[in-house]
Amino acid sequence: MNVTRIQATVIGDSDAEPEALTAAEAVGAILAKLGVTVVTGGRGGIMEAASKGAAEAGGLTVGILPFEESIKANSYCRVVIPTGIGHARSYVNILCGDLIIVIGGGAATLSEMCFAWMQNKPIFALKAYGGYAQEFAGKQLDSLRHDVVISCENIRELEKKVSDWLHLEDILN
């Protein structure tokens, strides 16, 4: 029997505002309760908050670091993958996720959204915290795909849409 655990890559600002960090923590907890592994860049901000929420809810957390030293991961990462490849690790983060969740986001987040778009990954954007999540929610990044970045007004809507997506995946597999 092939049992593969779904993985969600959570991306966003490393210097996010407190409200966005609270939201990321809630998102991590929701994903853990849904049985989803949480993958992040393993550092601070949104990455640490999502990892904290997932870890405290009993979920599995993975940090993909840009550094060569595992010790630089946030303390909530249960699995740490030091890459030593700097910003290029963003592509690895995206490849690890079956789905992508965006909270806020600056230039590095935008690059990850672009990688996800090119890899045909579903992208869920939590709009309430600004950044590129808000900018691209409900829009196409370009004409490569016919769908859009999935717009979520709040955490409750994000939970519903991710849960619906997970159930659809179960049906298709």
* Chain centroid to CA 21: 13
Q: What is the mean pLDDT of residues 12-26?
A: 96
Q: Are 59 and 37 in contact (CB under 8 A)?
A: yes
Query: Which of 14-18, 27-31, 123-127, 167-171 bottoms out in mean pLDDT, i.e. has the lowest?
Result: 167-171
Share of the chain above pLDDT 90, in %: 93
Q: Got the DSSP string for 128-173?
A: GG-HHHHHHTTS-SSTT-SS-PEEESSHHHHHHHHHHHHHHHHHH-
pLDDT digit string, tens, across residues 53-63 = 999 999 999 99
- The mean of the pLDDT values for the chain is 95
Angstrom distance (rounded) from CA 170 to CA 3: 11
Which pLDDT does position 169 carry in this prediction?
72
Looking at residue 4, what is its pLDDT?
75
Residues 64-120 have pLDDT tens digits of 999 999 999 999 999 999 999 999 999 999 999 999 999 999 999 999 999 999 999
Q: Which of the four pLDDT bands, split at 50, 70 and 90, describes residue 1? A: very low
Which residue carries 């997506």 as its tokens?
165
Report the chain's terminal Cα–Cα distance, integer Å: 13
